[in-house]
Amino acid sequence: MSEIVKEPSMLLQKEMIARNYEAITSKHETGRKVSSTFVPGNLNELLLCFDIVNNLPEINAIQNGMRKLSGNYIMDAEKAGHSEDVCTYVKADIGMMGAGNIAPNGKPFPKPDVLLLSYTGCYTFMKWFELLREEYKCPTLMLHVPYEGDGHSTKNMRDYIVKQLKEVIIPGLEEVSGIKFDIDRLREALRNSAKAEDNLVWVLESGKHKPSPIDAYFGGVYYIGPIFTAFRGTRDAIAYYDALRKEVQARIETRQGPITPDGSNFNDQRYRLIVEGPPNWTNFREFWKMFSDEGAVVVASSYTKVGGMYDLGFRHDADNPLETLADYCLGCYTNRNLPTRVDILAKYIEEYEADGLLINSIKSCNSFSAGQLMIMNEVERRTGKPGAFIETDLVDPRYFSAANVKNRLESYFQMIEQKRLGTAKAA
């Protein structure tokens, strides 16, 4: 395969990510502190208040998956005793540590100064940090976020989180960083977040156009990069989303689709899909091509909401700084119950005028995958649009069977086509 073609905003983001890895790996020279934390419900604005650099193990696993390194790391972790069925992000991380803990910039990752665990629906995150704590012997700050079991949050839940922020998280970060918490600094970061979030939502909602100027899954994972990682709350993120918005606006004006992995404009969009579940990273481009080759564009996805459901109206609010952090953590996709996920996906099908729902079920992720078939059946029932189910993995190349996935996808697209032709013609 030829070199992947990148849109200008992707190149901009690449530079930002490289800069963050540089900041992490040069901590001994700069004296900055480093935290490890997870994407869903992360507290980046708070970390910015303490000059703490943000390192995200899931993102490292994704990077290693896309760079074809995760397979060996996973096998190494299995040799160390981790089961085949355990989350492969965890094993890719553990394996990477065993292989020298080298960051994508070629320099070793330093030990984190703090593990900041915002617990938003993934039990594995807790166990993962247990392993890291054992390895690094560094302080762990846990923010417990109540699960939205009834589909909504309550004042009690919010108060509970704010209390933890005040009594545990902020004092803990002050101690690690040696910097006194300044709420005005947090407000400034939150204002920056909200600006970037406005543009992100605009970009993601542009999928309602026909042709869609974006791919809200394969392209979408790039669009969410800065906002869900170390850049939310920064001026860099504002600049990125301004640039991205202009890029997408230009495509809307010329009625162009996004760029395909081959570098052509994806204008011949035959199928509009909603996708649920994370993508496969080890065969990302091959996977993407299976869609673009068949003219299938993803107009909305749930994965681009794992770190925050901004399109449902939430914005970080500088006037209520701690409360807004609580609301953000409570509302991220992984913290929502199954009926809410069904509601969201059914709504996307209607609003984005999609042809159907495709679920990519992740073999090693029980948190995300449990109940997905039920979700599909229910969304099908409500919308009357066909669903399909494929199975791959996050970063374990052994779990990606190209022939099987392609067979199912092609069948699904043809099934949509056949349904469009209608009963009269098919009989």
Partner 1 sequence: MRCFIGIDLGSTTTKAVVMDENQTVLGRGITNSRSNYDTAAAVSKQEALVDTRLTLFRRSLEAVPGTADVAEAVLADLERNFRHIQFVEQLEDLERTCIGNVKGPRFAGREKPVIEALAETFRRLREHSATQFAPGFRRKSDFFRDLAGGDFMHNGEAVCREAGLAFDLILNIYDKSIIKVENRPPAGDIEGKFVRALEMESLDQSLIAAPVKSALSIPLEETYVVGTGYGRVRLPFPKEHIRSEILCHGLGAHIMYPGTRTVLDIGGQDTKGIQVDPAGIVENFQMNDRCAAGCGRYLGYIADEMNMGLQELGPLAMQSTKQVRINSTCTVFAGAELRDRLALGEKREDILAGLHRAIILRAMSILSRAGGVKDQFTFTGGVAKNEAAVRELRKLIKENYGDVQININPDSIYTGALGGAAFAVRAVLN
Out of 2, 83, 156, 423, point to the residue binding partner 1 (CB under 8 A).
423
Q: Which residue number, 152 or 398, has a Cβ lying nearer to partner 1?
A: 398
Instruction: Please state at what angle helix 235-253 crosses helix 183-205, rounded to 10 degrees.
Output: 10
Out of 58, 148, 391, 396, point to the residue binding partner 1 (CB under 8 A).
391
| 3-class DSSP state of 59 | helix
Query: CB 422 → partner 1: shortest distance, Å?
Result: 8
- What does the block give as tokens for 133? 């704590």
Q: Which of residues 337-376 bind partner 1 (CB under 8 A)?
A: 363, 373
Query: Which backbone phi and psi does 281 adopt, to 5 degrees?
Result: -95, -30
- What does the block give as tokens for 332? 């991220």
Q: Any idea what DSSP says for residue 362?
A: E
Total residues in contact with partner 1, by rule CB under 8 A: 27
Among candidate residues 267, 244, 269, the one with its CA nearest the CA of residue 256: 267
Binding mask 280-309 for partner 1 (x = CB under 8 A): ------------------------------
Q: Which residue number, 63 or 364, has a Cβ lying nearer to partner 1?
A: 364
Q: How far apart are CA 196 and CA 204, in angstroms?
A: 12
Query: CB 248 → partner 1: shortest distance, Å?
Result: 30
Query: CB 362 → partner 1: shortest distance, Å?
Result: 12
| 3-class DSSP state of 157 | helix
Cα torsion angle, 217, 218, 222, 225, sign: positive
Query: CB 388 → partner 1: shortest distance, Å?
Result: 8
Out of 104, 139, 146, 386, point to the residue binding partner 1 (CB under 8 A).
386
Is residue 418 a contact point for partner 1 (CB under 8 A)?
Answer: yes
For residue 368, give Cα distances in angstroms to 67, 84, 181, 302, 329.
24, 17, 35, 11, 17
Query: CB 405 → partner 1: shortest distance, Å?
Result: 8
Burial of 212 per CB tally in 10 Å (0-12, 13-18, 19+):
buried
Binding site for partner 1 (CB under 8 A): 363, 373, 377, 380, 386-389, 391, 399-401, 403-404, 407-408, 410-411, 414-415, 418-419, 421, 423, 425-427
